Structure 1
């Protein structure tokens, strides 16, 4: 059997472009709110299913760990105000990206989930976007809870 025949089949590429689109939406408009709803109901749900299928070894606790990290930044920003976000929150978002890369290297999370996290942490630039990022991640946690069994 040739080397090429022994390779595993090519994995379907899982896109995380919806993350940036969602974070940058103006959900105060009817159009923006409708688009946000569609992203959560269609693209995010499909992503959660693909995430589960891409690696059955990834645990739900890893998803919760990264969500809790973002939630802590969100709560601190809510409690301490906008100045906290621009002085400390953005630094912590940068570290969230580093934690995702580290966890992928340790094989604790999949490449697809790392790409989701990197896209999320990289595109949050304001406290409002942090709130939308939290909502998106919270929806992913909800979908994944039904799919993952630790």
Structure 2
């Protein structure tokens, strides 16, 4: 019995060390993936996708903006968001390591670094940009019906 108890405690003590080794391996693979994606990422294009719909909406609901105004908005977004968004992207390795297995991270990294995988992934922002107006239209159409229901759900009893 003593032997079994000793073996049990030894196993319990070894598990956290093994878990940390496994997490370290996951973080390492996630760092490889993040590094590859950051090399390919055009952060300014990503930021442009954040402000352009706003500018388009403003132009549609009031007077069109001058090129100087649009340029000033682009500069404002770039100045305020480039570094913070880059930092967020660089921190995703830890998050990925916490939610994905080593096999999943390895598969993702290997897919991204393959010829076709990398090509597909680099086109995903373009796909999102093309779909954005469609998604906005769906929301705009659904909100008049949904808003009274949301108000009913959140109204105090």
With normalisation by structure 1, the TM-score equals 0.26
Which of these two proteins has the greater Rg computed from alpha carbons?
A: 2
- Larger helix share, 1 or 2: 2
How does the TM-score come out when normalised to structure 2? Answer: 0.26
